[in-house]
Structure 1
Amino acid sequence: MFGFLCSRQLLPLKHRRTHLGFLQQNGFFIVKSFTSVGSLSESNQKPEEEGKHSFAVFYLINSCGLSTKSAILASQRVLFQSPERPDSVLNFFKENGFSNAQISRIVRMLPLILLSHPEKTLLPKIELLRSIGVSSSDLITILSLNPFLFRSSIKKRLIPCYDFLKSVLLVDEKVLTTFKRSPRAFLCDVPKTVAPNISLLRQLGAPPSTISFLVTNYPSAAFTKHAKFVEVVHQVMEMGFDPTKTVFVLAIQVLLKMSKPKLESRLELYKRWGWPKDMALAAFKSFPNCMLSSEEKITKTMDFLVNKIGWPSANIARNPSVITLSLENKIIPRCSVVQILLAKGLVKNNLAVGTFLRPSERIFLEKFVIRFQDDVPELLNVYQGKMSSGCRISV
């Protein structure tokens, strides 16, 4: 898509009701005009403004790789009549390792970037991110996915955010982890969002380790608008969560993602599977993420474990993390193995689901497959045969 025509050969198209298309004949691209471009033709623009739009559209297609539709939309947000400044921006990105596809994405999301002064406005951001340890490959990926970082003020946004995170997390490695997980966090107004959120947690007695866990693992939660954060924290406190425990943070991030009606609907769904509200709330306090699973996922998992396998619903409530596990890749294969062991009397009948569903792959194989291979040689084949991915495991 890039370089169809030299950008310095591009000329403004002065005709009204003009759109851009391309027809390839004998190895050459020919510019073709056709009507029905409402955004350009129906507006009450002066002829010279239409010329600017037409030139921008042509440039965005040929030099930036945008589709015709994207170029038309982008041209409404950026106007230029010559290629010099946009060329300097594109060259800057190429010199810094950005691919054509990444440059197209940046321009499509932020057309005004084509009017930037690369050395004055773009390079300082890249140098700042490099200074805190962002690798070249990570930096390119992050900025191509979040080009709005280029518009952030270094003095008013990026540096204050970095300084605050460093004061909370203490080491650059954790600051970098936070940034990678949520680059948009660096766009926030620190005094109005994350600072008062962290202050609230400290007032409630949350230790530095718990606060660090929130910021590094769930930065989008830590950077939530303060009013919403306060509301959710109070809700979590009313449910009886202990601010000194990590699960307190997990509950915050879950409730920030769920509305109260949605939470109530999850509690009602679990009630239909035999969990009274107090049991469902106890499961939530044990493993908050069990409420984030979709109704379909919960229903399929409970139906399999309760109706097909026969495990008591209360047993699952005591191990709510199993609700979030993959039914096809973990629950069904492991239950198939355990059913064979139960039938042969090799494991106890009162085996809790968490005992064999929660352990890592290595531990499960050691405890429930390799250990019984002499008694049941087909166990590994049964286990692998039930895995939807069809992968094979070396033991």
Structure 2
Amino acid sequence: MFIMFRFLCRTTRKVIAEGDRDRDLALNLTTTQLGFSQNKIFPLRFLSSSSHVGKRALKTEQSEQEESLTLSYLINSCGLSLKCAVSASKLIQLKNTERADSVLRFLSDHGFIETQISKVVKGCPRVISFDPEKTLSPKIEFFRSMGVSRDEVAEIIARTPPLLSRSLKNHLIPNYNFLKNVVIDDKKVVTVLKRMGRGLLQDLRSKNLGPNIALLKDIGVPHSGIIFLVTNTSSAARSKHSKFCRIVDKVKEMGFDPTQIVFVMAVGVISQLKESVWESKFEVYRRWGWSEDETRAAFRKHPYCMLISEEKITRGMDFLVNRMGWLSRDISKWPEGLFFSLEKRIAPRCFVIQHLLSKGLIREDISPTAYLKLTEGKFMDMYITRFHEKVPQLLDVYEGKIDFLDVNPEFQRSVK
């Protein structure tokens, strides 16, 4: 009888002849102070034999023990799943846990929580073999020196663990200097760092972002527009250069002016949308009565109207058209209104205005944009505090404590 035993690592496979003795190596490794797997010991069984399979020699007992130690440490001390630990163990082998323990302590001491440490080890297994003071500390201090908070450093590195393996002198500092020259402000640099993810592993000067920025400058996009694109839509700014050129040409053909901020907004939107999604948004607006020209005009006014979900568009249009009696084509002239929260802004303000209109306290030709655009404080001053004595229940209507239809039962009939 032959027993086929597949070791958890892909490269180890053994066939043991009948009569060979198997041996259990129980791993009762203590967990670190991080406490990933308290009371969860991961036992592994290893079979030893002097037999050979073809020309493949069996691993030595020492290498087996190192392999089992590594796998167990990744699971019990680093919090990796079995599958991730097997994958990571192909890149790192531990002879002992002294250095790895010091790395985990270092990360914990610098604000990394357990889940973030697991992500770091999963994304860059070799990190547990790094010298904390010589390799990790300078990089952590570099991020802190640009104004990144302790928690933000942990967030950025947990999102892109291979950053810890990149050269500080040849990669991290040049990338930072490049971004700083583009967006100027350190706070915006931090925003980009948090959003860019694995894009930070590239050489930003030569890989897409640099050439894309050069193109925008060549066609007259002001530096403020470039800052807006890089800060708010970094994925679009570092699109493959050939694709970015096509998008820029398309936006120019739509009639956008490169000197206006809506130009880079449109570039960002188009870079994110597949053609099928673009067409589906046209169909949604078409169902609410917008012509294709009206939808394109709305896009030119506020490109982000094509990023609103179908559900949000439908709910907003349904309320404004069917309940408030607005004309659909009028909404196309002010697509920004669809971005506002229906529950927190649009409905409460519309109900207050309708209540005031029913009392004859404000003029009937008031434009919806006039009150929906206002800040919270200005709206309160102009339409609630001002009329509080004449309409005591106005604040309750605004805060939803009183149903608008309870004080205006004729309103629902008036818009149908």
Q: TM-score, normalised by structure 1?
A: 0.81
Match of 2:223 among 205, 208, 231: 208
CA shift, 1:34, in A, is 8.3
Match of 1:340 among 335, 355, 378: 355
Q: Does 1:175 align with 2:189?
A: yes
The residue type paired with residue 89 of structure 1 is: V
The equivalent of 1:90 in structure 2 is: 104
The equivalent of 1:229 in structure 2 is: 244
The equivalent of 2:319 in structure 1 is: 304
Match of 1:153 among 164, 167, 181: 167
Q: Does 1:363 align with 2:378?
A: yes
Structure 1 pair 66/361, CA: closer, same or farther in 2 (3 Å)? Answer: same
Q: Does 1:187 align with 2:201?
A: yes
Q: Distance in 1 between matches of 2:71 and 2:281?
A: 49
Bigger radius of gyration among the two: 2
The equivalent of 1:391 in structure 2 is: none
Structure 1 pair 33/117, CA: closer, same or farther in 2 (3 Å)? Answer: closer
Structure 1 pair 252/20, CA: closer, same or farther in 2 (3 Å)? Answer: farther
The residue type paired with residue 259 of structure 1 is: K
Q: Distance in 2 between matches of 1:45 and 1:348?
A: 92
Match of 1:129 among 143, 153, 157: 143
CA shift, 1:47, in A, is 4.7
Match of 2:298 among 283, 286, 290: 283
**Residue pair 1:332, 1:386 contacting (<8 A) in 2 also:** no
CA shift, 1:306, in A, is 0.7
Q: Distance in 1 between matches of 2:27 and 2:76?
A: 11
Bigger helix fraction: 1
The equivalent of 1:251 in structure 2 is: 266
CA shift, 1:236, in A, is 1.0
CA shift, 1:17, in A, is 10
Q: Distance in 2 between matches of 1:380 and 1:94?
A: 49
The equivalent of 1:295 in structure 2 is: 310
Match of 1:115 among 109, 129, 140: 129
Q: Distance in 2 between matches of 1:278 and 1:21?
A: 70
Q: In structure 2, the residue corresponding to 1:372 is in which secondary structure? A: coil
Q: In structure 2, the residue corresponding to 1:377 is in which secondary structure? A: coil
Q: Distance in 2 between matches of 1:334 and 1:273?
A: 23
Q: Distance in 2 between matches of 1:202 and 1:212?
A: 12
The residue type paired with residue 62 of structure 1 is: N
**Residue pair 1:157, 1:186 contacting (<8 A) in 2 also:** no
**Residue pair 2:211, 2:241 contacting (<8 A) in 1 also:** yes
The equivalent of 2:17 in structure 1 is: none
Aligned residues: 362
**Residue pair 1:133, 1:172 contacting (<8 A) in 2 also:** yes
- Structure 2: stretches of 5+ with no match in the other structure: 1-20, 30-37, 46-55, 403-416
The equivalent of 1:165 in structure 2 is: 179
The equivalent of 1:60 in structure 2 is: 74
The residue type paired with residue 99 of structure 1 is: I
Q: Distance in 2 between matches of 1:256 and 1:19?
A: 54
Deviations along 1:129-172, whole A, 9 cap, x unmatched?
22322233322332233322212233443222222222223343
- Structure 1: stretches of 5+ with no match in the other structure: 1-13, 23-27, 36-43, 388-395
Structure 1 pair 53/15, CA: closer, same or farther in 2 (3 Å)? Answer: farther
Structure 1 pair 317/15, CA: closer, same or farther in 2 (3 Å)? Answer: farther
Q: Which moved more, 1:85-94 or 1:261-270?
A: 85-94
CA shift, 1:287, in A, is 0.9
CA shift, 1:332, in A, is 1.8
Q: Distance in 2 between matches of 1:149 and 1:113?
A: 10
The residue type paired with residue 166 of structure 1 is: K
CA shift, 1:292, in A, is 0.4
CA shift, 1:240, in A, is 0.8
Structure 1 pair 331/73, CA: closer, same or farther in 2 (3 Å)? Answer: farther
CA shift, 1:73, in A, is 4.7
The equivalent of 1:10 in structure 2 is: none
Match of 1:79 among 88, 93, 96: 93
Q: Distance in 1 between matches of 2:76 and 2:377?
A: 53
